[in-house]
Every structure is written in C-alpha cells, then in structure tokens.
Structure 1
Amino acid sequence: MNVDHLLSSFDMVFTWYNLLAIVAGVVLGMLFGVTPGLDATSGTSLLLAFTYSLSQETALIFLCALYMAATYSGSITAITVGIPGTPASASTVLDGYELNKQGKAGKALAISISSAVIGGLIGTVALVSLTAPLANIAVKFSAPEYFMLALIGLLIIGGLLGNSRVKGIAMAIVGLFITVIGLDPFTGYPRFTFGFMELMEGISYIPVMIGMFAISEALFMITTLDQKNPYKSGTINNNWPNRKEWKQMVKPMASAGVIGTFLGALPGIGAATANWVTYNEAKRISKEPEMYGKGSIEGLASSEVGAMATVSSSMIPMFTLGIPGSTTDAVLIGALIMHGIVPGPQLMTRNADLVYSVFIALFVIIAIMFIVGAFGVKFWVKMLQAPKGLIVSIILTMSVVGAFSLKNSLMDVWIMFASGILAFVLRKYGYPIVPLILGMVLGQLMQDNFRRALIMSGNGFEIFLTRPISLVILLFIVIGLVYPLLKNGTKGKQKKKHSSEVIISD
C-alpha cells in the first residue's frame, strides 16, 4: 500500500463535508433498508443523480455509506416484524424473528448490528488487501480480455437471477440492445434513433435504473394501498451478548465471513445469495443444527456476517476489472462514469487517491453505522408506521427530480416512467430486471472492446484464442454454460431411473 496515497486519502476523508456525507449516507441507507420493498440498489439509483454536484470522492463515499447501511438495516424489520426489509436479510427472519417471539428482540438486534459490523470489517480488509495485487494483474488486459470479462459477467449474472436461466440471459440481451441506440462510437452513424434527436446520445442507464427499481416498486405499493399496514412496534431495548454467547458465535461468524467475502468478490452473487449460503454452511458445521430456525444466535450471526462481508468485497471486481460485483455496484460504476472516472485496471494508477479514500471511508462508515444502528433502532421501527401513500409520494417526487436533474431533459423523465412500467410488467411475469440493467452497464464495454479486438487482429476472431488470458476466460465461459446443462441432464436421468424403479417395485 502506498503510504503517500494513504496519508493524502486520510486528509480527503476527514473533512467536515465528507464526514457529513458519511452520516447522511448511513441515515438514508437505514431509511431505505427498513422500508420493505426498498433496498440499497433502489436507494443508490434513486439518489445517484443528486450526487452530480458533489466532488468525486464525496459522491462515492456517500453512496458507499448508503449501500452498507441499507444492506444491514433490512434485518431490523426481519427481526421486529418478521418481514425482511431487503433481500439481503431474508434468512435473518428464520432466527431473528423467532428470538423476537421469545421476548428476545433486544438480544437479536444487538447480535444483528454486532455481526454486521464484524462482517463489514472482514469484507473491507479483504478489499484493501486484494485490490492492488489484482489491479496489477488486470493492467495487462487489452480489448479481447475486456470483452471476455464483460461477457462472463453477463452470463454469470443472467444465469443466477430469476426463476429461469433463459429469462435472465434474455433480459441481459435486451439491456445490450438498448446500448446500441444512439450514435455509433466508431462511425458516428445514428442507430435506432427513429428520428428523435434526444436519442442521438443514446439512452442513459441512470433514468432506466431509477425507473426499474424505484418507479416499479412504487407501482407495486400503489396496488396494495388498501391493504392493512402489518407493521407494529413494541418496547425494544438492546441486550448485548455475553462472553459465553460470543464464544458460541465465533466459529459460524468466521466461516460466514470467509464465505461471504469470497461470494461477494464473484460478479453477480451479492448479499441476497450470500446470506442463505453462509446460513446453510453454518448450520452444517454447527453442533446444534436442530436449533436453527428456532431462535439460534449462531444462525442469526452467520446470516448477518455473510451478507455484510459481501458489501465491501463486491467492490473488488468493480475497482480492478470494471465489472460490478453486485447490482448496487453497477450503480456505483454509474457514479464513477458520471463523474468522469473510468472504472477498471487503470483506476488504481490514475485515481489512486480516490480508491484509498474509499478504503478509509469504509472503516468510518462501519463505525458510524454501529452507532446509528445501536442507538437508533426505536426510531427506525417507528418509520414502519408511515402510510404507504406517503412513501409512494416521496419515491415519485424524488424519482422525477433525480431523472430530470441529470441532463435537464424531459426525455429522461419519460424514459424513467416507461422503464418503471416495463419493470412492473416484467416482475409480474417473473422476468428479472437486474440482468437488463447490467446488460446496459456492460454493453458499451462489450461492443467497444469487441470491435477494437477485431481491428487489432485485422478483423479475425483468432485473437480471442491466441491470447492466454482471453483463452482462459473463454474456457470459464464455456464451462459456465455447459456444466449446468450436464448437471440438469444427470438429474433428469436419475429421476427417470428412480421412476422406473418405483414402477418395477410396484
């Protein structure tokens, strides 16, 4: 780690406006997290346009604070009312809400914030330790490698999300097509603009993100306005775990921290998947697996550590390769590009002070999050009492202002509403919207580097096979496509064989 960059980054972070940005990001992130239906992705996408007037480091620090706090605070509603505030807190319900029903809500909330802090620290240490070495490797990449990386990112994410791999990949292709709209970057020829001058610059994914995450959620809320508010709050006080309980939680927390960090560094996994994986692994190695789902403090701690470890570690591929490690990281990449910063291997050399300032800020964010989480639980639970109509009004107002302020264009506002309606319909029919957004994020990277690679090779495809790194990534892509098919085929044969045995035995 460069000491000069580290010292200058300390000066950047510990200014009154950056510290204020951290506090504001944590508070707003907690607000988004405790509001069911909203999460870190909707929060960062909704407020992304508002960071346009901020400096580069302040904008990124603010969004990172919002990201981390929103990921944690979904556990507050999971514990108090049995409804996860965010997908990252889904497994928290199993033991957290059960502890609440046993009269141990304070204990569950204290374990939740403590585990979240530990998970955040583990992920941040991994981010600080691994980013520079990986960036030194990634700096050797050229157009063929960038294209392959973007492709593998799309395939991984498209396959993981939604009920169907086909649906996920189809939505990613739609996102790729949207990036084609506008002037060709190599020839300047207009593509799919249909005579609209406003489309010459292409469709920005920022209003699309606001529409698909915020507007679609507002539409879902509107359809349930007449339903009775299920949230209620009682007397809640923190009850910190004792030494015996800490000793009991050490092993599952350590396991969850390592697994969560690894999963976070893989593009497309995210906290929503990591909290289930770490929970199941903790249950597997536990001496009392029968207690899981019945108020196990081990299960609660492992869920929180696993989910929070992914937040910082998911930034590793973002900083080193320019590929979002999660959906929220796609928004952070949008923030970097909006502020004139190119994410990827060159980021550590061209904007080292910015990257180091994020490293330092993450530790400060975790400290502020602990303070707000430990002493502000009662207030956040009260927020659940807000009428849905008020929440919808705030979302719609902020969405319109955010989309319009980006370029002072009404076209962006209409694109936002159209995207929101489209996302509402897609979600109704089980189509995931995240691959579409990531298709837009990675689409420009794919088409530009694909064409550059062809120019480098004289319009031949052999360049993707003759360069070692590109070939290795291509093999990973092939394995990623073929393995699920072979696995499903094996399962189908086993099922058919089992059915035949049943018929014979009958």
Structure 2
Amino acid sequence: MNTIADGLGVLLDPTVGVCLLLGLAIGTLVGAFPGITGTMAVALASGFTLTLEPEQGLAVLLTIYVGANFGDRIPSILVNTPGTPASIATTLDGYPLAKQGRAGLALVLSALVTTGGILVSMVVFLFAARPIAQLALEFGPAEMFALVIFGLTVMVSVSSKSLLKGLLSGVAGLVIGTVGRDPITGDERFVFGMDDLSSGLPFIAVIIGLFGIAELFDQLLTHRASTARPVSSLGRSRPTRAEIRQLGRPFAVSSAVGTVVGALPAAGGDIAGLIGWDRAKRMSKRPEKFGKGSLEGLAAADTASSATLGGSLTTTMALGIPGDSVMAVMLGSMVIWGLQPGPSLFTDSPDLVITIAAIMIIATVLSLAISLVRTKGMVRLLDLPHHYLWTGVLLFCLVGTYATTNDIYTVWVMLVAGVVGVVMKRTGFPAGPMVLGLLLGPLAESNLRRALLIDGPSTLVTQPVSAILLGLAVLGLVTPLIARARSARRARSRATEADQSPADSR
C-alpha cells in the first residue's frame, strides 16, 4: 500500500500536473496535424525534459503519447488523412461516415473506444507487468542476449515490406551501437580520434534526426501540401443506445488484439488497427458495410490501435525491450535519467511504475474530456498553414538537440542522422530497426560476451530459455520469407489460370 501511495502522491506535485497538461496539449495538437507523428513529438520533447525530474519528464512524454493517439483521429475522419500511422485503419470507415454527414458521431465514438482500449490495456499492464518482470529477473546473460535478438528480429520482420531492408537497418543500428568504449575492456572503438565519440553517439540527437529532421527534409523535397478540407458539417454527435450496443463485440475482440500486438516490438497501432478491423469484419453480421461507413469497423480499428499503448508499455517496462518507436525514445530518456526499464525497475522503483500507470490513465481520461468538449475547436487546426508548423518543428529540433549536451557537435549528429533518415525513407529502409539496434546493441553485446566468458558458446543453445528465444528469432525471419514465397506462387498460379481461360473458351 505504501508503494501505491508513494506512486500516486507524486501526482500531487503541482509541477507534475503542469507537465501533464502541457504534454497533453502538445500531443493532441501533434496528432491533429497530418505528417507529425507521436514518435517525432516525443523525440523533440525529450531533449527539453532531460533536465527535469524523471516524474516530470515522464508526465510530459507519456501524455504526448496519449494525446497524439486521440488527436490523430480528427484528420483521419474529416479529411481521410491519417494524423499518425496508428490511425490508418480509422480512415477506412471514419471518412465514409463523415461523407454521410455523421462526422460528429464518428469523432465521439472514436474518442470513447480509444479511451476504452487504452484503459483495458492499462489494466493488463498493472496485472501482467510485474509477473513478467519477476520471470525476467531469473534470466542470465545468455537469456538476455537471446531476448534482445528476438525483439530485434520481430521488429525487422514487421517494420518493412522488404525483410532484407529491415535486416540491414537493424544491423546498421547494431554497428553504430558499437561506437565508443568497449563494455568489457573499456577500450575505444571506431572513434577515429574524435573525443566526442568516446561515449558513443548521442541517442536523442540520432532519434530527433531520424524522425524529426528526416520528415522535415522529406516534406521540403516533395513540397507536399494537403488540398483536402474538412467536411463542412459535423452533424449529430450523441450516439444512441442501439449504436453503442453494436460496438460491444468489436471492442472486446480489438482490445485483446491491440494489447497482444502492442506487446510485440515494432508492431504498433497501424498493424493492430488493420488486424482488429479485419477480425471485426469477419465476425460481424454486416461485413458488407465495412469500408463504407460502419460504426463497428471504426470502433474495431480505433480500439485495437489504442490498446497497443498498454501492451507496448508492458514490454518496455517489464523487459526493457521497446514495444514501439515511441517507447524506444522513452527508454532512452529513462536511461539518461538514471533509470533502467526492465525487471529491476519493479524491485528498485515500484512506486515509479505506479506513477507511470497513473499518468497514462489520467491522460486518457483528460484526453476524452477534451475530445468531447473541444472537438469543433480542434477541427479548425486543420486549416492552419503547414509551413508555419514545419518552421516550428525545425526550431524545436535544433534547440532541443542542443539542450541535451550544450554542444554543437550534438546538432551536427542530428543533421547527419536527418540526412541518413530521409535517404532511408526514400529508399524504403525502416528507421525503427536501426533505432532499436542502436539502443539495445550495447545490451546485447555485453550480455553475449559475459555469456561466452562464463560458459562458452554452447550456453546459447543448451540453456532452454535462450534456445527457445533464438529459435523464435529464426522463425521470425524465416516465416515471412515462406509466406511471401507462397503468395508469389499463388499469384503465378492465378495468372496461369487466367491466361488459360481465354484459350479454353475458344
């Protein structure tokens, strides 16, 4: 009980309350602007939060995460443009509902099921995270190495259409992670005579470059400008009892889908939303309405994508493996604050775990209130000229990065990472595996070398847990190849049958 009281007592600090409200406002605004992702916003904000107390910094970053998850539904429904990748599935039924004059209803129901999805996943976090962490405490160096490799392979396999590109991105991150001092001997590696590199590449600068500057450069190069305009009328916003009742089944199914998918590294809200939408369509009595303005489809997509927040948080806090790119940034910030997400967090700082859960729940409830009360005001944000927005993003990138070290070297690292990021974006290489490789590479290397020093190479396959995790990692790489080969074979078979049909008719 003392742990719970201590964790909740932190929220009585006025500065934490201010940080919470600030993060919520930023997150909601960010989500409402197409093109600016939650990852970018959290990465930018992280540079300004490093001088804060951990509880204050977490209040800002977590509420941005939650707020963006609510705000991104607005452009998805009104202008058929996802605010963030997590709301891609929202457009499938949200925009058709808006064109039918039911935009207000779609926005309200979206906010309600998003709230429900996050709260359900947070209940799972509160009950499941500690047992998972206690199990992970029994892991030795071999098991920890295998766990990191498994997380990397999952991210590689789901983060890109090309397995090879995802794999190369992950390997590049691992290589970059070796820059600096050897974790065992302390010798310098790949520093090329530059003292600044002796402590490794600054993680926050790389993150801001890959996600913030890269997106900015890409926007400038393509000169993209949205010509879409929000629907002229929101229509009624209060749902009937019958409309709410029909959402029960898709909500239940998609909550489970989103929580499980969110627990997988890199499998974020975009994947969960599409899977939840597809599951709900298969179970619906009216599947023909999906994609044409189905309330069930909208509820399924938004519930699944929002439920990933709790699932991702569970993996990050219990195992120290980021559930998505936002959690990767969060993990990096926590390490800089002197905190180590993972099994030890639940024994060393159990009150902080309660604080994190409370921040997420409070942010969710406040986001719902904002969504229900200020919907019309947020809709007007879509008319704001985007060049003002991107100018602000650039300034935040520069100032936020410099603030992390007060060294211009960090800004140069960010700009170089931005160039690399835009090249990766235009050539189809995902940034997620590189970030995870950079973040977890040192952890994987140190545990691998300890395992080899203690028991030799055989320990990786003789220890049951490490053998199973490495086996799953191999399956994670092989299974997509098999699935794609089968799909290609079926496509060739259908093409052959189509060619033969005209001949048979003659």
TM-score (norm 2): 0.95
SS in 2 for 1:180: coil
CA distance in 1, matches of 2:248, 2:11: 32
Within the candidate set 456, 474, 478, 2:474 is matched to 478
Is structure 2 residue 111 aligned with structure 1 residue 113? yes
Is structure 2 residue 154 aligned with structure 1 residue 138? no
Q: How many pairs does the alignment contain?
A: 502
Post-superposition Cα deviations, 1:116-164, rounded to whole Å, max 9, x if no partner, equal 1111111111111101111111110111111111111111101111220
Tell me what 1:208 maps to.
206
CA distance in 2, matches of 1:115, 1:479: 34
Residues 306-455 of structure 1: pairs in structure 2 closer than 5 A: 306-455=304-453
Contact 2:102 2:234 in 1 (8 A): no
1:228 CA drift (Å)? 6.2
Tell me what 1:487 maps to.
483
CA distance in 1, matches of 2:466, 2:16: 40
CA distance in 2, matches of 1:76, 1:503: 46
CA distance in 2, matches of 1:300, 1:492: 31
Tell me what 1:467 maps to.
463
Residues 235-246 of structure 1: pairs in structure 2 closer than 5 A: 235-236=233-234, 239-246=237-244
Post-superposition Cα deviations, 1:36-71, rounded to whole Å, max 9, x if no partner, equal 111111110111011112111221122111111112
Is structure 2 residue 153 aligned with structure 1 residue 192? no
Post-superposition Cα deviations, 1:294-343, rounded to whole Å, max 9, x if no partner, equal 11111111111111100111111111110001111101101110100111
Post-superposition Cα deviations, 1:395-448, rounded to whole Å, max 9, x if no partner, equal 111001111111111111001011111111111111111111111111111111
Contact 1:222 1:389 in 2 (8 A): no
Residues 146-165 of structure 1: pairs in structure 2 closer than 5 A: 146-165=144-163
CA distance in 2, matches of 1:450, 1:404: 34
Structure 2: which 5+ residue stretches go unaligned?
Answer: none
Report the CA distance shift for 1:33/1:327 in structure 2 as closer, same or farther (over 3 A): same
Letter in 1 for 2:410: D
Post-superposition Cα deviations, 1:74-96, rounded to whole Å, max 9, x if no partner, equal 11001111111111111111211
Q: Which moved more, 1:194-203 or 1:274-283?
A: 194-203
CA distance in 2, matches of 1:83, 1:464: 47
Tell me what 1:12 maps to.
10
Contact 1:52 1:406 in 2 (8 A): yes
CA distance in 2, matches of 1:244, 1:313: 30
CA distance in 1, matches of 2:228, 2:495: 45
Task: Quote the sequence identity (%).
Answer: 33
CA distance in 1, matches of 2:224, 2:168: 35
Within the candidate set 246, 249, 252, 1:248 is matched to 246
CA distance in 2, matches of 1:406, 1:322: 23
CA distance in 1, matches of 2:222, 2:373: 32
Tell me what 1:46 maps to.
44
Is structure 2 residue 299 aligned with structure 1 residue 301? yes
CA distance in 1, matches of 2:21, 2:270: 25
Report the CA distance shift for 1:38/1:497 in structure 2 as closer, same or farther (over 3 A): closer
Report the CA distance shift for 1:504/1:222 in structure 2 as closer, same or farther (over 3 A): closer
Q: Which moved more, 1:217-226 or 1:336-345?
A: 217-226
Letter in 2 for 1:477: A
1:226 CA drift (Å)? 7.4
Contact 2:102 2:236 in 1 (8 A): no
Tell me what 1:127 maps to.
125
1:229 CA drift (Å)? 4.5
Letter in 1 for 2:17: L
Contact 2:157 2:477 in 1 (8 A): no
* RMSD of equivalent CA atoms: 1.8
Tell me what 2:71 maps to.
73
Contact 1:271 1:306 in 2 (8 A): yes
CA distance in 2, matches of 1:306, 1:323: 21
Report the CA distance shift for 1:217/1:498 in structure 2 as closer, same or farther (over 3 A): closer
CA distance in 2, matches of 1:215, 1:189: 32
Structure 1: which 5+ residue stretches go unaligned?
Answer: none
CA distance in 2, matches of 1:129, 1:281: 26
1:367 CA drift (Å)? 1.0
1:237 CA drift (Å)? 6.4
1:361 CA drift (Å)? 1.9
Letter in 2 for 1:192: F
Contact 1:319 1:343 in 2 (8 A): yes
1:382 CA drift (Å)? 1.8
Letter in 2 for 1:245: E
Contact 1:221 1:388 in 2 (8 A): no
Letter in 2 for 1:60: L
CA distance in 1, matches of 2:439, 2:84: 23
Report the CA distance shift for 1:244/1:483 in structure 2 as closer, same or farther (over 3 A): same
SS in 1 for 2:76: helix
CA distance in 1, matches of 2:492, 2:91: 37
Letter in 2 for 1:450: L
Letter in 2 for 1:263: V
SS in 1 for 2:169: helix
CA distance in 2, matches of 1:499, 1:96: 35
CA distance in 2, matches of 1:262, 1:379: 34
TM-score (norm 1): 0.95
Post-superposition Cα deviations, 1:191-233, rounded to whole Å, max 9, x if no partner, equal 1111111111110221011011111111122235474643446
Report the CA distance shift for 1:121/1:226 in structure 2 as closer, same or farther (over 3 A): closer
CA distance in 2, matches of 1:14, 1:487: 52
Contact 2:101 2:235 in 1 (8 A): no
SS in 2 for 1:223: helix
